[in-house]
């Protein structure tokens, strides 16, 4: 009877049924593959969103940290202003008393004073010419000068103005009618370096020199004059190491480093990278992103700059 039923169903119907089943199988396979592709696609999208979300969280944390740092810096600046005013008031009486003492000591016997006392006396009296002449005359005692100069400069009524007046005879342009001794750049650098701790902000330290607007403007004019002199005398290739060093130290001491002149600073640092103070100056000039590294060997500093 089964064979009779099979005989009743035409073969074309059977083939058509199998064809329909094959189509259904292919459709199911296609849907399965499509579902897998969609699942993979949405998984990738989800992973991408998670990565972007994490990046946004990281940026927000960085922004929060940066904002916090900026606010903290502002608070410190506010405190530094108050501290600077209090410091100026406190030092006023000290310097007045020091001036009276220095005048009395000079009258009693100026020739008998030691180097430290002479420096303090000249600073207290704001005798910048006598001060600079004394520094130049004591070149053989440079280590003692390095020790005593910051202490002496602290006795000035206006240390920043005093130092600019002191070096103005040879920087930015040597105005001496007779240039003897020939090189006084070392003295300018020494005096400018010694002024840094004297001008240091009581809260922020040496990163923010306590210099008035007029002082900064005068310092910028001096720097501008030196750059003009540089252009008129053959550029960087012809500048002497002490002159370049004085210029860079002048910028750092008075806090007038300009972003527009970074290329000039870098070229000067590269040209005279063998000088002992250049690595520290490079950092103060904001060239740390150009520094490959600093190696210290046998007391000498070697600075490598990325181009």
Domain boundaries, the chain: 16-256
Tens-digit pLDDT profile for residues 60-100: 888 888 888 777 776 766 666 656 555 655 666 666 666 66
Q: Give the mean pLDDT of 170-182.
A: 83
> Which residues are CB-neighbours of 91 under 8 A, at least 6 positions away?
154
Of 104 and 304, more confident = 104
Euclidean distance between CA atoms 135 and 141, whole angstroms: 9
Specify the pLDDT at position 43: 87
Q: Give the mean pLDDT of 120-137.
A: 94
Strands (E), the chain: 200-201, 205-209, 291-297, 300-305
Whole-prediction pTM value?
A: 0.66
> Pairing state of beta strands 200-201 and 291-297?
unpaired
Euclidean distance between CA atoms 196 and 207, whole angstroms: 9
Lowest mean pLDDT segment, chosen from 2-11, 57-66, 157-166, 200-209: 2-11
Listed residue (254, 268, 195, 243) closest to 221, CA to CA: 254
| DSSP designation for 7 | H
Decide: residue 262, CB within 10 A, 0-12 exposed, 13-18 middle, 19+ buried. Answer: middle
């Amino acid at each position: 009877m089964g064979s009779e039923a099979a005989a009743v169903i035409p073969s074309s119907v059977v083939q058509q049924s199998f064809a329909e089943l094959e189509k259904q199988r292919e459709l199911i396979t296609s849907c399965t593959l499509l579902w897998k592709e969609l699942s993979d696609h949405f998984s990738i999208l989800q992973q991408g969103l998670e990565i972007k979300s994490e990046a946004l969280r990281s940026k927000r944390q960085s922004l929060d940290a940066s904002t916090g740092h900026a606010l903290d810096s502002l608070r410190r600046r506010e405190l530094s202003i108050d501290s600077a005013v209090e410091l100026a008031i406190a030092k006023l009486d000290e310097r007045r008393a020091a001036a009276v003492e220095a005048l009395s000591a000079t009258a009693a016997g100026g020739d008998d004073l030691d180097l430290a006392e002479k420096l303090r006396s000249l600073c207290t009296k704001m005798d910048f010419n006598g001060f600079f002449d004394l520094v130049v005359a004591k070149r053989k005692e440079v280590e003692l000068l390095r020790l005593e100069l910051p202490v002496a400069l602290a006795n000035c009524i206006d240390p920043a103005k005093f130092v600019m007046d002191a070096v103005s005879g040879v920087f930015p342009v040597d105005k001496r009618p007779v240039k003897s001794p020939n090189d006084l750049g070392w003295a300018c650098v020494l005096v400018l370096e010694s002024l840094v701790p004297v001008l240091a902000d009581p809260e922020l330290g040496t990163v923010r020199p306590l210099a008035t607007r007029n002082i900064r403007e005068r310092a910028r004019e001096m720097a501008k004059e030196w750059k003009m002199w540089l252009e008129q005398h053959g550029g960087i290739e012809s500048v002497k190491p002490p002159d370049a060093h004085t210029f860079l130290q002048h910028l750092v001491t008075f806090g007038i480093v300009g972003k527009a002149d970074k290329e000039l600073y870098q070229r000067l640092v590269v040209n005279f990278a063998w000088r002992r103070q250049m690595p520290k100056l490079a950092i103060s000039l904001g060239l740390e992103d150009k520094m490959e590294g600093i190696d210290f060997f046998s007391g000498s500093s070697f600075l490598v700059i990325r181009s």
